[in-house]
Every structure is written in structure tokens, then in C-alpha cells.
Amino acid sequence: MIDLPALATYYAVMSITPGPNNVMVTASGASFGYRATLPHIFGIGLGAALQMVLTALGLGIVFQEFPILHTVLAWGGAAYLLYLAWQLLNASTVAETETRRPFTIWLAMLFQAINPKAWVMAITTAAVFLPRHTPFPLLFLVVGGLFLVVNLPCVSVWALFGSGVRHLLLRPTYRRVFNLTMSTLLVLTAVLSLRG
């Protein structure tokens, strides 16, 4: 039997705490506004939910058999986070974001494949919270559905925060401090992901 309150609590804690997704949606909310960040938010939820279901169905065994895949994903994810940090650091004004675009739903879904925190959630869900041989419909409904219900509001908080400070970021000094802070958090996330 799946302990739904424990699983929901785990999802809430992992979804609301800082990580690559939350840093990126905060920056997106500040740059593009909340509404334009919604595809990014839904992509995170859908991608991570799919990742958890697939891991529970046995994808985790692939990582046990081929540990080099974990290393490749960790380095690829870290490199991408560093690239995003560099891009964010060099976007000095809100007006410059007009030449960039927010993440699409598909890009946000794909990012979960190299997101170390998403992998931790997927593997922990499969190993700790799910009984062996959980039927697929139950996996899909409970794991995927519960994750989306919990994750979407948590990630939205970060995007709304970014959107809420957007008016302050019209001042170049504030924007620079914000970009530097978000870039630093992405770099720290990349470094920490390689230590785990």
C-alpha cells in the first residue's frame, strides 16, 4: 500500500526547496512574467512525473547496470546549468529578454532528464515509497497525478516571486544583482549535483 500522505509530503518538500527548476522559473517569471512561464512550469511537472513513472517501471535498473550513464547525465546537467547561468548573467535588462524566449513545455520536460534533483526524486519515489510490482495504472495515477497536484503550486510560488519583483528589475542595478544571484545559485546547484 502506498503511503499517500508521506509521498505527498516528500513531493512538497522536494518541489518547494531550491533547485535548478525553481531557480530557472524564478528567473523566467522575472524576465517574461508568470503567464509566459506557465509552459515551463507545466513542462517541469509533466517531465518529472513521467520520469518517476518510468523509473518505477524499471528504468532505474538501467542506471544500476550502467553507472556511467549517471555520470554522463550529471556532467551534462551541470554543463547545461553553467550555460544557463552564463546566459542569465549576461542578460542585463528586462528589455533584452525580448530577444530570448521562455522555456517551452517540451524543453522543460526534456530538461528533467539531466536535472539531478529530478533523478533523486524519481529514484527515491521508486525505492522508498512504492511497493514492488505496483500496477502501471496505479503508478500513473498515484505517482504522476499526485506529483502534478503537489508540484505545480510549489513551482508556481517561485515563478510568482520572480514575476512579483519584475518591476524592480527595470532598474539596471537591481537587475544585475538579481541576475548575479540567480546565476550564482545555478552554479552552486551544478557544483553540488556533481558531488552527489
Let me know: does 85 contact 189? Beta carbons within 8 Å: no
pLDDT tens-digit readout, 123-174:
888 878 877 777 777 777 888 899 999 999 999 999 999 999 888 877 888 8
| CA 136 vs CA 27, 81, 143: distances in Å | 36, 33, 10
Q: What pLDDT is stored for residue 85 in this prediction?
A: 79
Give the total number of structural domains in the chain: 1
Name the DSSP letter for residue 19.
-
Structural domain harbouring 159: 4-195
- Per residue of the chain (196 residues), give pLDDT as tens: 778 888 899 999 999 988 889 989 998 999 899 999 999 999 999 999 999 888 888 776 776 677 777 677 778 777 877 887 787 777 655 444 444 789 999 999 999 988 888 888 888 888 788 777 777 777 778 888 999 999 999 999 999 999 998 888 778 888 788 878 878 887 887 777 677 5
